[in-house]
Chains A and B, each alone.
Chain A
Amino acid sequence: MDKYLDSRFERVEKALATFIDSIAKYNPSEKLAEDLVAADRELAAGLKELERHQNNHARILQLRQETASLDQQTKDIIGGLWNMRKEVKSTPATQYPATGPKYQFTTHELLNYAKRISRTTLPPAHLLYNSEPSESQQVGGQGGQPMEVDSAAQTPMPGGGGGTATAAGTPAASAAPTPAASGPSGPGPVTTTTAPFSQPPPPPSANQTALPEDFKPHINLLTGYQFHPWPTEDKVRMGGMAAYQSLVSRAVDPKGYDPEEEERRKKEEEEARKEAEERAIREREEEERRMREERERMARERERARREEAERSGSISGPAAGAPAAAASSAGGGGRSQFTFLDGMDDDDDDDED
């Protein structure tokens, strides 16, 4: 590039010198002047060229730098990848059985299963989409009971402003502490938790239609509800294992023992027993009836014997003997109640004799 420019400078200089010479010799020529102009123009073009050259050079430098930085970046990336690869290779991965058993199932089975387990794996919507407090209660609660107290103490909080605004008219209402109202200056945390249960409800003001905040936890069926992704203790205690255990503790061998079967057997036994009792009652009645008939028969026979005897004695001692016999029989009839009906017969006899 230098040479390129030098030649142009030289040419300008030469043209200028010859031009000056010609002027000095007082022989200016138009051609020389034009040469000079042309040389000057070429020099200007050359300078332009130089500028472009410089720009290009700068650009080249910039590109080189860029290349270098990109190279560096590439190297970094490759280095990172290399390190990553080393790390990945050195990480102890969970050992899944490479050829684990694969089970076939149909979409229908899958959907059926999803439907069946939705009750036990999907928490109710209010736990899922509700505010954070419910979650903190959920997680913070230690068991069933404290959990409930927690929620009772917490639920009034968000609505506390509105609740106190409606109840502000009656002084008694503001005295009946919602946990929010009693605050830190109140009797203390212990009373705060028991407050919803022990305190009487605030007297209803005239235009109060909303339930007092204290009642809401009692109305809401889901108060204190906890979602358990496993069978709770209650369920375990009410299940078949508990029934089994209770049989064992009653010294019954559960093998082959079926409570339903037992129930049926007991019922049958009960029925058989009832039937036997009824039969016994019937038999006893039968027996009584037979005995009564027997007694009647005996009484009749005795009466007949007595009458025969009376007839016989009558034929011996005459009709006078009939009266004492009748008197004796009536007196005996009073004493022996089973013979009362004989009086009538005596009367008949007397009538007959009269």
Chain B
Amino acid sequence: MTVRASVDGIDVVVPEGTLIIRAAETLGTFIPRFCDHPLLDPVAACRMCLVEIEGMPKPQASCAVTLTEGMKVRTQMTSQVAEQAQAGVMEFLLINHPLDCPVCDKGGECPLQNQAMTAGRPDSRFGGPKREFPKPLAISTEILLDRERCVSCARCTRFSEQVAGDPFIDLLERGSDQQVGIAHDEPFNSYFSGNTIQICPVGALTSTSYRFRSRPFDLVSVKTTCEHCASGCALRTDYRRDFVMRRLAWEDPAVNEDWNCDKGRFAFTYMRHGRLSAPLVRGSDGVLHEVSWSEAIAFAAKGLSALSPSVAALLGGRLTNEDAYSFAKFTRLVLQSDNIDFRNRPSSGEEADFLAHHVAGTGLVVTYEDLENAPIVLLVSLEPEEESPIIFLRLRKAYRKSGLKVAVIGPLLTRGLRKLGAQLLSTVAGGEAATIDSLLAGDLRGSQSVLTALKKKGAVILVGERAASSAGAYSASIDLANETGAKLAWVPRRAGERGALDAGALAGLLPGGRLMADAAARADVARVWGVEPSDLAVRRGKPQEKILREISEGKIDALITAGLQISDAPDVDTFKQALSEAKFIVSFEQRLSDVSSYAHVILPVASVIEKGGSFTDWEGRVRHFNRALNDSPAVSDSTVLGMLAKEMGAPNTGWRIDEVQYEMAKLLGEGPTGTKKEFKRAGAPTIEAADVKAPPSGSAVLSTWHQLLDLGVMQGPEEHLAGTRRPSQVIISPGRAKQLGVATGDLVTVSTVNGVVTLPVEIDEIHEDSVWLPMNSPGSQVLVTLKAREGATVKVAKA
């Protein structure tokens, strides 16, 4: 349905329900506005967008009136009335505005500043005292509020309520006292709070970390991709000289729309602090010494050549596609080994099979748009707000707009899931497969509507990487998808995992999901790499956990690691033992890490702003980004691998970023040179659902996942951001609380034979047999302290 109307005497035909302000935009007419935002509900709070509508006695706010058939609208371009109305509103807005542009962070990119120039008076007629507030007011450790500058447009409060679902800020008081504020003792600790700074049309909201740091004209903006999670946000990275000053969300309607999360926005200083500038080689004295690149490469090449093919590569899931691809190629071609794994986290053989069968090299199967239009989204082992925040935002948008049904197979309805109006199919960790089976069999109480919705066209199942800790969950998800016809997508947490999988950084898999064992696929890859199929490694490699065990057993001698943290590994002790027993370790690092103390050679590599490349988000969408700091001497992992390859007598070409991208396009079927061929795919995993036994008295089944803001290394030295973390707490059920005799806030211990975590308790409707802990938060490092993964049985007691 369309309507025909006229704006400034020009006929427009727009879909029914189009706001006047949007219709004017299609003509290229910009009506000044502050409160209007295309992704927020109209509110007409600022009154700046007044236009004249024929037949209406007074000017109307064009951001809140939809165009109707035959309506004649005249904007400030043709109407004296509209122009005067806007000038009047601007004068009112400026009465209480402090005009402290020289000290305001928004100065130079401020809609109020700009529109005061176009619609304002050259001088003020107001002589009285202006409204004054103490400033700045810290509404969280990261966000500062300057109430004098506020024009009460309510963009921030509407964003928090509508988009993020965190109504922690609101307009308080009335009249000239009206101000944005928080509840007493309840700071604005939303994961999406940074977006309010970006959409604030004045300088009322600023961030602690960017405060007074620079001006818009100092900054060079580069479109980049966020390296923090697999959501794939487009970011605007603003740098001045050699330093990144800030990051903003870059508008990308297909992925992150106008938003991003606070981790992506504020956690970037890790790229600056403690960076290695020169390669380090462990001398005969056992100490790391700075050496030249040529010396380090020669040393590393000698060590690797001597031990090849008894070598393994562990990548850690944080690499760009290009770097992961180069590692995959280097391992197969130069090291003659297939021992490569990108999963430095609890993983499983079932997961590897699932990925090879269902995910690797499949391209875009489920997109954000599919989530928005789905009749139902079923989440398995996935907590979207914590693990993939942009999925959360898109689900919430669909939930608000069209009542999207979200169902989740997990232990509890978290705050994030409640904001999605999700239905819980309650299970303990490890019982996911059994729950799916009974959902399919139709004997799960209250799940009939879920099953019916899953059978509708466009239904989506999202399975998170934590399913690896639940035997049979991946297999059952495939069954469920096959039975219902729903689309199934895998959502990893780290930005580099999907890309590394597609690039073939997993044992048995070549780029694009090609099977090592498939002769035709091998030949195809060898042709692109310019070698004979027989030049590629033949013996099928091992996953990370087996690799580590084989190092301890002396079956694998050398190790290449890239961006790895021991503390992320599912079994920290085995990892440490393997590292101490490996004969030779080459570590690719940006900064010293917990692997460094074991490494024989440390090769410093570029961070994401110092190299071009791409990440693949959970959808399978390749997110290219350009190099931001062009003057940086840092080199990418691919380049270093090229140097190593040359030193080890392998082909010297195909390691430069453009060559890598050319090869990847050929193998993965992207871009103009891409010719995607279909090869034999791996079979689906068929792991039976595990028998879930009730834990013994005094014990519970551990559920755990990473909180968005936690002790992650890349959130490093950003203390303002750390201040907005959610508190670390244990979640137990009311029944268990009664049994233990604890009330909210009391200390509770969760223990295994390896260690104890003591945290305040939160009582929530969690599965009776479950206990929840944050995975890597202050006071609760599950993998390090308890040495337990999700689904383990732990003791819960009153502290």
Instruction: State yes or no: do A and B come from one complex.
Output: no
